């Protein structure tokens, strides 16, 4: 019998039939060697065929074997199929345990059906199955995925207080991931300290998550302090993800030298840059308008055997759009499909933004419907971009229609949407309509948004509605909002346009007293107001203050000053101040330097 078995197995091996997990499993059932076979399943059809075979066996295979198969399908991320198999197991009367339950709950949560996951948890209690830590980890992860961070925090606290399970590193990491997702870095660090107190050792994922979040919030010193703690005191070696976060954070702040040193340090540690590393560098260069440098990074990337992905090309498109090089941006867009990639919403948004910023609204309007034809759904960013583009060229009616379409598509306008609409209306001399919309929104977030007040005050002041601007300015103070330098500057501009120089000066003087000192733009606005209204008494004093504060003149203010000196309205003695107040680029402008 043994010889027959060996010869059959030999024949199977010789003909490579055992490469089929399904046939291998059948042998496993017969000869008792099955656990390693299920692990090798990588194809959903094989897994389903195997399940059918198992369900027809009598007696049924053990719960362990069913759970292994369920886990294999889940690892392939076929979550709906996993849930279907789990239901089939229950129908067959397979005695499910905490492990199969944890897999079912994980599948629910990964499908953004955490509510169903909690229903399965209820089934655990009804079946007298004590939930394990894996079940609670899956539920926590589901809540984080669905942005239900408060519910996640409550569940986590409940686990600890009621000792429902012993949280381990994955439990803490899941909660930290959720906190960092919402920029709650203080609580995330506090949780890191709690891990240390409970003798649960943080790992590289713990530190990477917090370091990345700190960089995103521009808390650079805190991020590097944590990085040093990780390496020097915990002995945890950084990986490519750590370096990507550090390099990305530094590049975004324009600290290129430090980013370059980290890149060298990374390679010295034999950590090879991955696609994400190159994408971070390319994106940072593109956002600075340094597209040639970004192209050079991509060339190095290709030379090292790393294939640029859609993120890479999206960055390049964005970079060329920022520079107004729309032909080049469109060429890259058109080349994406030839490279086997499919443009996504981000790709379209970048190109639409480029067209709108360059006032080529017709091209944008032609491309916009192309998104839906390609099976993509425009998001809030898409509509915001298009709305801004339409308002910039004065097409308010079309903007109104697009806003209605946005609502019809079930998209909820965000704060940015309303800012764009209010500013668009104000810039197109429709301040009253903007104000009506503002009041129509009632006690929404917009009523406590200082940026919205700045837009409305500026819009009213620009077009001679200074009384409305004054009411708005007083209204924000009455609500307990603190006017910022922009608010005061646009109000001063409105006063100056109406010749109300006394009110402009009074507000200007109050700025320092209220802890909101005027900036260079405020000085320029007030100077221009004085000059245009032929009020020369305070001009020298303002110029002297600008010099004391290290501020400079812009071209339009300088031109007004030169004209008034040429007309004899101002004394030529103030020319000596210009050497200190005029930036070099204006000094080199022949049309402006003939006053010397």
Q: What would the mean pLDDT of 177-182 be, rounded to a whole number?
A: 94
- Do the beta carbons of residue 94 and residue 63 sit within 8 Å? yes
Per-residue pLDDT tens digits for 532-547:
998 888 888 999 999 9
Give the model's pLDDT for residue 416: 93
Q: For residues 247 and 231, what is the distance between their CA atoms, to the nearest angstrom?
A: 17
- Do the beta carbons of residue 378 and residue 409 sit within 8 Å? yes
pLDDT above 60 for 21? no
Give the model's pLDDT for residue 589: 60
Q: What would the mean pLDDT of 51-55 be, rounded to a whole number?
A: 89
- Do the beta carbons of residue 491 and residue 507 sit within 8 Å? yes
Q: Residue 591: pLDDT band by 50, 70, 90 thresholds?
A: low
Of the chain, the percentage scoring pLDDT greater than 90 comes to 55
| Helix, strand, coil % over all residues of the chain, rounded to 5 | 75, 0, 25
- Do the beta carbons of residue 548 and residue 517 sit within 8 Å? no
Q: Which of 126-140, 333-347, 414-428, 440-454 has the lowest mean pLDDT?
A: 440-454
User: Cα angle vertex 107, ends 106, 109, to 5°?
Assistant: 65
Give the model's pLDDT for residue 260: 87
Q: Residue 108: pLDDT band by 50, 70, 90 thresholds?
A: very high
pLDDT above 90 for 387? yes
- Do the beta carbons of residue 209 and residue 176 sit within 8 Å? yes
Residues in the chain: 596
Distances (CA, A) of 12 to 15, 20, 28, 568, 579: 5, 10, 13, 106, 92
Q: At what angle do helices 310-322 and 326-336 cross, to 10 degrees?
A: 170
Peptide bond into 59 cis (omega under 30): yes
Give the model's pLDDT for residue 443: 60
Q: For residues 210 and 192, what is the distance between their CA atoms, to the nearest angstrom?
A: 9
Give the model's pLDDT for residue 14: 38
Q: At what angle do helices 396-408 and 415-427 cross, to 10 degrees?
A: 160
Distances (CA, A) of 236 to 13, 231, 392: 44, 5, 52
Q: What would the mean pLDDT of 158-176 be, rounded to a whole number?
A: 92
- Do the beta carbons of residue 294 and residue 258 sit within 8 Å? no
User: Cα angle vertex 478, ends 476, 484, to 5°?
Assistant: 40
**Helix (H) or strand (E) segment spanning residue 333:** helix 326-336
Bin 551: left if φ > 0, else alpha if -120 < ψ < 50, else beta.
beta
**Helix (H) or strand (E) segment spanning residue 239:** none
Q: Residue 73: pLDDT band by 50, 70, 90 thresholds?
A: very high
Give the model's pLDDT for residue 588: 61
Token pair, residue 35, equals 């656990």
Average pLDDT value over all residues in the chain: 87
Q: At what angle do helices 114-126 and 98-110 cross, to 10 degrees?
A: 160
Q: What would the mean pLDDT of 142-170 be, rounded to a whole number?
A: 92
Give the model's pLDDT for residue 475: 86
Q: For residues 82 and 70, what is the distance between their CA atoms, to the nearest angstrom?
A: 6
- Do the beta carbons of residue 96 and residue 64 sit within 8 Å? no
User: Cα angle vertex 406, ends 400, 408, to 5°?
Assistant: 105
Bin 324: left if φ > 0, else alpha if -120 < ψ < 50, else beta.
left
The ranges assigned to domains in the chain are 537-596
pLDDT above 50 for 18? no
């Amino acid at each position: 019998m043994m010889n027959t078995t060996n010869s059959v197995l030999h024949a199977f091996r010789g003909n490579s039939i055992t490469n089929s997990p399904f046939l291998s499993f059948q042998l496993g059932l017969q000869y008792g060697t099955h656990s390693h076979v299920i692990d090798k399943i990588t194809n959903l059809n094989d897994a389903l065929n195997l399940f059918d075979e198992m369900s027809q066996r009598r007696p049924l295979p053990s719960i362990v074997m069913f759970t292994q198969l369920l886990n294999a399908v889940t690892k392939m991320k076929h979550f709906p199929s996993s849930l279907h198999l789990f239901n089939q197991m229950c129908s067959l009367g397979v005695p499910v345990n905490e492990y199969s339950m944890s897999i079912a709950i994980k599948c629910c949560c990964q499908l953004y059906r955490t509510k169903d996951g909690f229903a399965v948890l209820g089934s655990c209690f009804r079946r007298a199955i004590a939930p394990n830590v894996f079940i609670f980890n899956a539920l926590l992860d589901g809540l984080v995925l669905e942005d239900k961070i408060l519910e996640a925090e409550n569940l986590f606290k409940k686990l600890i207080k009621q000792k429902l399970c012993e949280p381990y590193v994955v439990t803490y990491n899941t909660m930290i991931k959720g906190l960092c997702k919402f920029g709650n870095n203080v609580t995330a660090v506090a949780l890191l300290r709690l891990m240390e107190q409970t003798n649960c050792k943080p790992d590289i994922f713990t530190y990477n998550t917090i370091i990345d979040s700190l960089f995103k919030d521009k808390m650079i010193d805190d991020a590097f302090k944590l990085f040093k703690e990780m390496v020097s005191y915990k002995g945890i070696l950084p990986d490519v993800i750590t370096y990507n976060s550090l390099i990305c954070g530094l590049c975004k702040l324009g600290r290129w030298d430090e980013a370059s040193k980290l890149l060298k340090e990374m390679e010295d540690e034999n950590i090879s840059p991955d696609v994400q590393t190159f994408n971070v560098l390319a994106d940072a260069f593109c956002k600075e308008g340094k597209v040639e440098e970004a192209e050079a990074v991509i060339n190095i990337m290709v030379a090292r055997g790393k294939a640029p992905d859609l993120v890479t090309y999206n960055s390049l498109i964005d970079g060329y759009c920022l520079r107004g090089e729309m032909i080049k941006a469109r060429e890259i867009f058109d080349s994406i499909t030839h490279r086997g990639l499919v443009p996504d919403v981000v790709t379209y948004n970048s190109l639409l933004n480029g067209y709108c910023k360059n006032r080529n609204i017709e091209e944008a309007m032609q491309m916009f419907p192309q998104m839906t034809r390609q099976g993509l759904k425009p998001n809030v960013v898409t509509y915001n971009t298009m709305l801004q583009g339409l308002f910039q060229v004065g097409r308010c009616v079309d903007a109104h229609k697009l806003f209605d379409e946005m609502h019809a598509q079930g998209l909820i306008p965000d704060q940015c949407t309303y800012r764009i609409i209010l500013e668009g209306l104000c810039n197109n001399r429709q301040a009253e309509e903007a104000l009506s919309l503002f009041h129509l929104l009632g006690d929404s977030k917009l009523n406590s948004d200082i940026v919205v007040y700045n837009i409305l005050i500026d819009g009213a002041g620009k077009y001679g509605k200074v009384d409305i601007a004054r009411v708005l300015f007083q209204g924000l103070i009455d609500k307990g909002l603190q006017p910022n330098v922009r608010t005061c500057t646009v109000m001063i501009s409105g006063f100056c346009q109406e010749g109300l120089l006394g009110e402009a000066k009074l507000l200007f003087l109050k700025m320092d007293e209220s802890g909101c000192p005027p900036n260079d733009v405020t000085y320029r606005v007030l100077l221009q107001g004085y000059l245009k209204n032929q009020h020369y008494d305070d001009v020298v004093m303002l110029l002297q203050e600008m010099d004391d504060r290290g501020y400079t003149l812009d071209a339009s203010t300088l031109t007004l000053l030169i004209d008034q000196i040429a007309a004899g309205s101002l004394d030529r003695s103030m020319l000596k101040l210009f050497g200190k107040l005029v930036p070099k680029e204006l000094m080199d402008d022949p049309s402006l330097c003939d006053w010397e």
